[in-house]
Amino acid sequence: MATSVFARYRGMSALLLAVALTTIGVRTYLQSDPAHFSGLGAGPPRTVYIKPKTGVQEIAQTLWEAGVIRNRWSFLALAYMQGSPTRLKAGEYEFTHGMSLREILQKLEAGRVVTHQVTIPEGFTARDIARLLAGEKLVDADLFMALVTDSQFVGALGVRGESLEGYLFPDTYRLTRGMGEAEILRTMVTRFRQAVPKDLGAQARRVGLDAHSVVTLASLIEKEARLDSERPLVAAVFYNRLRRNMPLQSDPTAVYGVPRPRRRITSLDLKRKTRYNTYLKAGLPPGPIANPGMASLQAALNPARVSYLYFVAKNDGSHFFSRTLEQHAEAVRKYQARSDGSGGRGS
């Protein structure tokens, strides 16, 4: 019995010694052979995307195919010796000339992924944002838009409307590949919540609206006005028209939802039958037509105290405001003179 135990112990010791010697040998080989121990050679940085739930062997294959490492087996040997396989994180990485295998592994373990600084301009629609982010390879545009209008997802984010349009706050974001459409949308809505007044509902009631209607009105102001100084005036025109039960006749509402609207809005556009066309529908549209910035949101809450009912673009970024239809018609003739005969409120 004692002999059997001793033999088993001796066999185990021999195995452990063999493993230790193999480990030392591999480590010595890696450290003494720069060609195998080094990573990316000369040349520009390489960007690699590691998908979630990717195993260490597939990671090695991906890095080798991208030219980041010279030898997959050396990478795997070092990864296993360091206990790295279960610690490597998914994401988009940039690897530069001169990085060693150890540095590459450390970067993957730490999750030091590439960040994309993306600026969402004021007045962008959700579809505009989807195209911009898809161009940066951060989202799938179709999946992004599907979530924008998904009633369960919209409700889960605490948005009252039919979609997230209007609540994707225009700002500069630092995003990473792999965040996913849902997380990016959640980040933008959270930024909206942080930016707007905490008592938005109370301020909205003060001007006779609810919070969702204020955001909707702000989106119209955003699409109509270029100058911050004019936003309260544009807001006043809309409020004055709402009080008189006059159609808002906001040109941008007539082309909202058109896949690729023309830059110039025609009289035919103004006759487009949609729920958003304020030439054909009284009152505010059912929801925002774009994502407004803070200047437009503040204007919607604080309209100027003027009696204007009309405004027309002067083709220099500013507008001419009028109190009467006669004044407005003269301004349209002076500043627009549209050959297609449209004019309406003249925005």
Q: Are 234 and 221 in contact (CB under 8 A)?
A: yes
Check residue 27 and give its pLDDT: 53
User: What are the boundaries of each domain within the chain?
Assistant: 15-110, 116-195, 221-335
Residue 42 CB-half CA count within 13 A: 0
Check residue 4 and give its pLDDT: 57
Whole-prediction pTM = 0.81
15-110: CATH number: 3.30.1490.480
Check residue 3 and give its pLDDT: 54
Check residue 267 and give its pLDDT: 84
Dist. CA 180–CA 176, nearest whole Å: 9
Q: What is the pLDDT along the chain (347 residues), one digit of tens a residue?
A: 555 544 555 545 444 433 443 454 455 555 444 444 455 556 788 999 999 999 999 999 999 999 899 889 999 999 999 898 999 999 999 998 888 899 999 999 999 999 999 999 999 999 999 999 999 999 999 999 999 999 999 999 999 889 999 999 999 999 999 899 999 999 999 999 999 999 999 999 999 999 999 999 999 999 999 999 999 999 999 999 999 999 999 999 999 988 765 667 888 888 889 999 999 999 999 999 999 999 999 999 999 999 999 999 998 889 999 999 999 999 999 998 653 434 445 45
